[in-house]
Homo-oligomer: A and B are copies of this chain.
Amino acid sequence: MTRTGTRLRPDERTAELVSAARELLGEVGYERFLPAEVARRCGVSEATVYRYFPTRHALLVRVAQQWFDEILDALDPGVVVHDGTEEQLRYVVRYAVEVVRREPTLTRYILNELRPDPEFRATSIFRSNRRFTGIVSQVLRDAVARGDLRDDVGIDLLRDMVFGGIEHQAWAYLRGEGEFSTDRTTDGITTVIYRGMAAHPSHPSHPS
């Protein structure tokens, strides 16, 4: 994309490479990700890519890392702002929907390619990833502790229904098999989870 051709400071070049790599990963997925294409998009040689990243894998990991950090930096502050279990839940679900929807391949890469890696737990992505999916878990956990949600279904299962549901929706959308409204998906998932787990079913919520 960015066609520089000129010499860049190492941090600029790195940023450019990561940016192009993120786009590419989002477009073609992990297996079809070619370092050569990243180089091409930056207007540099393949060797330059390897100057900044020792392996293809390292570049991919860096992409995930940076991407996650951006997401979390934007997400984190907002959580506390919302009052009430349902509103907090809706907020994080909406955020997850927006993220996954915007970059389903990237999400998939992190969730499915990076996490299974034996060395994953040693990576700093591990921590970031935990922050990302964990933030949903935390909202749920807090709600349970507060007595707003029941505890008869595991938090991890609820979290998986949220992320799995979003992911499947996104893929169906990309395949052209259905619409993908952020609102509709957010409200639907929030509603099901909240109504399904609410400790006090007397005040059912209404999806928009």
Query: Which residues does A use to contact B, with CB under 8 Å?
Result: 31, 108, 111-112, 115-116, 152-154, 156-169, 171-172, 174-175, 177-178, 184-185, 187-189, 191-197, 201, 204, 206-207
B201 touches A191 (CB 8 A): no
Contact among B163, B184, B188, B201 for A204, CB-based, below 8 A: B201
A157 touches B169 (CB 8 A): yes
A194 touches B196 (CB 8 A): yes
Q: Measured between alpha carbons, how far is A96 from B98 in the docked complex, in Å?
A: 27
Beyond the given A156-B172, A159-B168, A161-B192, please list 7 additional residue pairs across the A-B interface where CB-CB is below 8 A: A157-B165, A158-B188, A164-B166, A167-B168, A192-B197, A193-B196, A201-B204
Q: Measured between alpha carbons, how far is A29 from B48 in the docked complex, in Å?
A: 28
Q: What is the distance, in angstroms, from A196's C-beta to the closest C-beta of chain B?
A: 3
Contact among B112, B196, B204 for A191, CB-based, below 8 A: B196
B157 touches A188 (CB 8 A): yes
Are A153 and B207 CB-contacts (below 8 A) given A160-B164, A165-B164, A201-B201?
yes
Q: What is the distance, in angstroms, from A185's C-beta to the closest C-beta of chain B?
A: 6
Q: Which residues of B contact A207 (CB under 8 A)?
A: 152-153
Closest 7 CB pairs of A and B: A164-B164, A196-B196, A160-B168, A161-B165, A192-B196, A164-B168, A153-B188
Contact among B153, B184, B185 for A192, CB-based, below 8 A: B153
Q: Which residues of B contact A112 (CB under 8 A)?
A: 108, 171
Q: Measured between alpha carbons, how far is A119 from B165 in the docked complex, in Å?
A: 25
Between-chain CB contacts (< 8 Å), 6 pairs: A111-B168, A115-B175, A153-B207, A160-B164, A161-B189, A161-B192
Q: Which residues of B contact A204 (CB under 8 A)?
A: 201
Q: Which residues of B contact A167 (CB under 8 A)?
A: 160, 164, 168
Contact among B31, B174, B189, B206 for A157, CB-based, below 8 A: B189
A191 touches B31 (CB 8 A): no
B192 touches A178 (CB 8 A): no
A153 touches B201 (CB 8 A): no
